[in-house]
Homo-oligomer: A and B are copies of this chain.
Amino acid sequence: MNTTNQILTVSIIGSGNVATALGEVISSNGIRVLEVFSPNIDNSKLLAEKVGCNYVENLEKLNTISDLYIIAIPDNEISNVITKLKSKEGIMVHTSGSQPSDVFEGKFHHYGVFYPLQTFTKGKQVDFQEVPICIEGSNDITSELLVQLAKKISNNVVLLNSEKRQYLHLTAVTVNNFSNLLYNLAHDVLNEKDIDFSLLHPLIKETAVKIRDVNPYQAQTGPALRKEISTINKHLELLDKYSEYKEIYNLLTRQIINKHHG
C-alpha cells in the first residue's frame, strides 16, 4: 500500500462488461490502471488500449505493486482465479453481487467487495454518478479506502454486508434480467407482426421511472389487476403459437391476481 493512504493504482482481472466499464470510469477519474489480465487476449488488449496500460498474458505475471486488484469475472470462476493468484500487499476485491467477501479469507491481508449495481453492455455508456456502489471491506481501513475510491466515481456509495448484498443481487437479477427477457418476448412478437417495437419505448420508460414516485404495489395496472378474464383469455389465444411466452403470461397473470385479490 502506498503511503498516501489512497488507492492510486489498480490492476484489473477480467475484460468483460463490468471490467471494461469500471476500467474506463476509474482511469478517467485520475486513478491509474497499471495492467489488465484476462484469458481472452483480444478483449484484454482492447481494454488495455482504452485505459492506456499493459495487458499481461499470465495471472502469475501480475505485478505486486498495485494498491488495488479488481477481479471482475463470472461468479463461478472467482474462486478458481483466487487459488491461482500469488499473494499481494494491495487490496483484493471482486465485483460480484452474489459471492461473499470471505472467498479471499486466509490468502490475502486486505480484501473486500466493490459491487456496482448496474447493467453494463460494451459500447453502451453508463452515467456512473448515479450507480450505487456497494462496498464491503475485511477491516475498517480497507472499507474506508474502497469507499474513498468509490466516491470518486459515484454519488451513491453504500456499505453493505455479504448477506444483504446477495438479496440485493437476487432482486437486481429480477428487475433487470427478467424485465429484459419480457422486453425480448415483446420484441419477437411485434417483429413477426411487423409492428414497430419502439412504440413500446415510452411505456417501458414510464414503467421504470414511475416506481420512484409510486410504490410498485400501487403502480400495478392492467387486465390481471382488474381481473378482466375475457381480455386475458384473448391474450392467451394470441399466444397459442408462442408456448414459452404463453407460460410466462399465464404465471405472471395468475400471480398479479393472487397478489391483489388473493
Q: Is the CB of B259 within 8 A of A181?
A: yes
What residues of chain B lie closer than 8 Å to A172, measured between beta carbons?
200, 203
Determine the residue in chain B with the shortest Cβ distance to A185. Answer: B174
Q: Is the CB of B177 within 8 A of A186?
A: no
- The verdict on A210 contacting chain B, using a C-beta distance below 8 Å, is yes
Determine the residue in chain B with the shortest Cβ distance to A235. Answer: B170
**A180-B207, A226-B74, A248-B255 are contacts. A202–B120 as well, Cβ < 8 Å?**
no
- The verdict on A41 contacting chain B, using a C-beta distance below 8 Å, is no
What residues of chain B lie closer than 8 Å to A255, measured between beta carbons?
181, 244, 247-248
**Copies in the assembly, this chain:** 2
Q: Is the CB of B189 within 8 A of A252?
A: no
* Complex: A220 Cα to B206 Cα, angstroms: 20
Which residue, of A180, A209, A220, A226, has the highest number of chain B Cβ atoms within 10 A?
A180
* Complex: A169 Cα to B204 Cα, angstroms: 13
What residues of chain B lie closer than 8 Å to A228, measured between beta carbons?
74-76
Q: Is the CB of A167 within 8 A of B182?
A: no
- The verdict on A49 contacting chain B, using a C-beta distance below 8 Å, is no
Q: Is the CB of B213 within 8 A of A166?
A: no
Residues on A facing B (Cβ under 8 Å): 17, 74-76, 98, 117-121, 123-124, 126, 130-132, 134, 156, 158, 160, 164, 166-187, 189-190, 193-195, 198-226, 228-231, 234-235, 238-239, 244-245, 247-249, 251-252, 255-256, 258-259
* Supplied contacts A75-B226, A173-B223, 19 more A-B pairs, CB within 8 Å: A75-B231, A119-B219, A121-B210, A121-B221, A123-B214, A167-B189, A174-B182, A176-B221, A177-B220, A177-B222, A178-B249, A179-B204, A179-B207, A180-B211, A181-B259, A184-B216, A186-B216, A207-B208, A248-B251
